[in-house]
């Protein structure tokens, strides 16, 4: 080649810069591709993925627990039943003893299990959020009755307010990996029980179009709530056809006693067409046996009695098998919701629901940590992934919770949404097919290609279908991280929370309907949305 036409040797610095630019450009292109919205058919994680790979109880263990449950239902029974409960349960075969306790013959319990509702749908106001609760299909959501909100900036706790419930609901409406919204806090700024129940529900159903769970203090508080729900649904028949609210009902006071007010609420909700979460919340070592197996026995017995009760009122009524036992730190008696024992309990309760082929709901993600920190991360991650791997249908309290249910953190919703995406990816497992075994791909890369898979067609095809990418978690190299100002997870969660709350005001309840609600119910205290 003539000297005049020879290309000068590239400066090594320029060559390195070009290489870095190409790599950076490819990296940024891949990130842009990953950030593009995904259609439901190719999303790597989604509601209703099937779990069930983790099973802490053996088949013989399950049978022994089942037999122990039937024994204590026949011999120990339940105290403090209200008249309506006594009438309904004795009508189908329960026995009221001279000691005032209702006992339940095993044939009655087994017949109830056989004929109970299963494989039903919990509806959202938007049908996109409908959840089929059956088998081992997994859904994550919120729940709780926290009395404090975590102020992450001040590292303090303050009393929770009605606005906080609405803000949490509209944040959940934007978070793909939180599939339903049960009220996670109580509004401490509303002391009247009727106003509290009504406004809690109003804040939930106007804040999100996902399925909502709520509680009522007494029976009388159900009627105005139903009237509001009928208005939102477009009539009573439409609500009964697609009830988008369920009642979280602590009908039992462990150990083995009925709760009078909650039983009245249960009866009113069954009459009104609201699905029931039958919730037993004993605490191991305090209101349930310290032995983990014994805690499971008591929880299952308590919920099965609720199932008999509901089916005596209305056969085949939709009810969720809500075995929800908690764990105590036996050194202090304090609850330890983030413990390994809690994870085991929740997974075992999922197995018992599957044994009966009943839709199951229990709790995970109840961090003992007071702040969204390392402890919170490992406690939530362990309990939530084990619940998902067990195939639990409805995993309550999975996001936002701290201080063993005493505190709720809005910023944690953002971080926990990422965490739940990772949990769901574990639930989904590994697909093994002829294509996935990659024999042709390996041969192509090794024999014909560049010796790596970075630009291969299979890699580009699967990068969205097969892999979950967190929204706020940090995966930068240390160099990139430093160049971007050393961002941290909590800081990014704070920014995202502020963005949602300043810009997102859901309108699934139209303005005109909201105005009609405010005209009809003068005790709506939530300010009109700014958006």
Kindly tell me if the per-residue pLDDT of 13 is higher than 70.
no
Query: Concatenated DSSP letters for 166-185?
Result: HHHHHHHTT-TT--EEE--B
Q: Is residue 126 part of a domain?
A: yes
**pLDDT score at 3:** 38
Q: Is residue 477 part of a domain?
A: no
Query: And the tokens for 473?
Result: 């978690």
| Among 191, 186, 198, CA closest to 144 | 186
> Can you give the CATH number for the domain in which 404 is found?
3.20.20.480
Burial class (CB within 10 angstroms; exposed 0-12, middle 13-18, buried 19+) of 382? middle
**pLDDT score at 334:** 84
Q: Please, where are the H alpha helices in 208-328?
A: 222-233, 236-241, 260-272, 292-313
Q: Is residue 506 part of a domain?
A: no
Q: Is residue 99 part of a domain?
A: no
Q: Is residue 31 part of a domain?
A: no
Per-residue pLDDT tens digits for 74-128: 999 999 999 999 999 999 999 999 999 999 999 999 999 999 999 999 999 999 9
Domain membership of residue 382 as a residue range: 119-286+317-428
Per-residue pLDDT tens digits for 299-312: 999 999 999 999 99
Kindly tell me if the per-residue pLDDT of 272 is higher than 70.
yes
Q: Is residue 80 part of a domain?
A: no
Kindly tell me if the per-residue pLDDT of 130 is higher than 80.
yes
In the predicted model, what is the mean pLDDT of the chain? 92
**pLDDT score at 161:** 98
Per-residue pLDDT tens digits for 451-507: 999 989 898 888 888 999 999 999 999 999 999 999 999 999 999 999 999 999 999
Question: What band does 37 get if pLDDT is binned at 50, 70 and 90?
Answer: low
Query: Concatenated DSSP letters for 470-530?
Result: -SSS----HHHHHHTT---HHHHHHHHHHHHHHH----SS-HHHHHHHHHH-TT--SPPP-
Percentage of the chain modeled with pLDDT above 70: 92
Q: Is residue 520 part of a domain?
A: no
User: Among the listed ranges 8-17, 61-70, 264-273, 412-421, which one has the minimum average pLDDT value?
Assistant: 8-17
Per-residue pLDDT tens digits for 507-530: 999 999 999 999 999 999 999 977
CA dist 209 and 198 (Å) reads: 17
Question: What band does 380 get if pLDDT is binned at 50, 70 and 90?
Answer: very high
Global pTM value: 0.92
Per the structure, the count of domains in the chain is 1
Answer yes or no: are the C-beta atoms of 112 and 356 closer than 8 Å.
no
Percentage of the chain modeled with pLDDT above 90: 86
Q: Is residue 211 part of a domain?
A: yes
Answer yes or no: are the C-beta atoms of 72 and 288 closer than 8 Å.
no
């Amino acid at each position: 080649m003539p000297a005049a036409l020879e290309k000068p040797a590239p400066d090594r610095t320029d060559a390195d810069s070009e290489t870095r630019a190409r790599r950076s450009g490819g990296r940024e292109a891949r990130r842009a591709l990953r950030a593009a919205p995904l259609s439901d058919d190719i999303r790597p994680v989604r509601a209703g993925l099937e779990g069930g790979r983790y099973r802490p109880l053996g088949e013989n263990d399950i049978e022994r627990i089942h037999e122990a449950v039937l024994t204590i239902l026949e011999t120990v029974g339940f105290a403090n039943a209200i008249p309506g409960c006594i009438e309904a349960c004795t009508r189908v075969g329960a026995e009221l003893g001279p000691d005032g306790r209702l006992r339940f013959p095993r044939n009655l319990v087994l017949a109830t299990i056989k004929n109970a509702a299963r494989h039903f749908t919990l509806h959202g106001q938007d049908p996109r959020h409908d959840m089929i609760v059956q088998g081992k299909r997994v859904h994550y959501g919120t729940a709780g009755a926290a009395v404090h909100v975590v102020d992450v900036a001040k590292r303090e706790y303050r009393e929770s307010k009605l606005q906080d419930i609405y803000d949490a609901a509209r944040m959940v409406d934007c978070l793909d990996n939180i599939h339903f919204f049960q009220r996670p806090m109580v509004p401490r700024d509303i002391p009247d029980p009727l106003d509290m129940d009504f406004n809690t529900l109003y804040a939930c159903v106007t804040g999100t179009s996902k399925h909502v769970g709520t509680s009522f203090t007494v029976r009388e508080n159900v009627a105005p709530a139903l009237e509001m729900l009928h208005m939102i649904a477009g009539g009573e028949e439409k609500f009964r056809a697609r009830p988008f609210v369920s009642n979280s009902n602590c009908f039992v006071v462990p150990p083995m006693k009925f709760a009078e007010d909650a039983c009245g609420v249960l009866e009113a909700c069954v009459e009104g067409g609201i699905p029931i979460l039958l919730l037993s919340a004993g605490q191991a070592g305090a209101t349930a046996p310290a032995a983990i197996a014994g805690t499971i026995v008591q929880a299952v017995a308590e919920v099965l009695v609720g199932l008999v009760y509901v089916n005596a009122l209305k056969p085949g009524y939709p009810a969720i098998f809500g075995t929800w036992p908690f764990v105590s730190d036996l050194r202090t008696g304090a609850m330890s919701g983030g413990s390994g024992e809690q994870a085991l309990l929740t997974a075992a309760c999922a197995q018992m629901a599957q044994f009966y082929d009943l839709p199951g709901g229990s709790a995970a993600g109840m961090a003992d940590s007071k702040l969204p920190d390392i402890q919170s991360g490992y406690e939530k991650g362990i309990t939530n992934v084990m619940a998902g791997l067990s195939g639990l249908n409805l995993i309550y309290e999975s996001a936002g919770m701290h201080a063993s249910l005493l505190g709720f953190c809005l910023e944690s919703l953002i971080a926990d949404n990422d965490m739940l995406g990772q949990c769901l990816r574990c639930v989904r497992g590994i697909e093994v097919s002829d294509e996935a075994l990659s024999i042709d791909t390996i041969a192509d890369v090794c024999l014909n290609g560049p010796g790596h898979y970075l630009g291969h067609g299979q890699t580009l095809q699967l990068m969205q279908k097969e892999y979950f990418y967190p929204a706020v978690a940090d995966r930068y190299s240390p160099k990139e991280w430093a160049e971007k100002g050393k961002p941290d997870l909590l800081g990014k969660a704070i920014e995202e929370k502020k963005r949602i709350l300043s810009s997102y005001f859901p309108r699934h309840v139209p303005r005109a309907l909201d105005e009609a609600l405010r005209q009809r119910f003068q005790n709506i205290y939530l300010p009109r949305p700014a958006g």
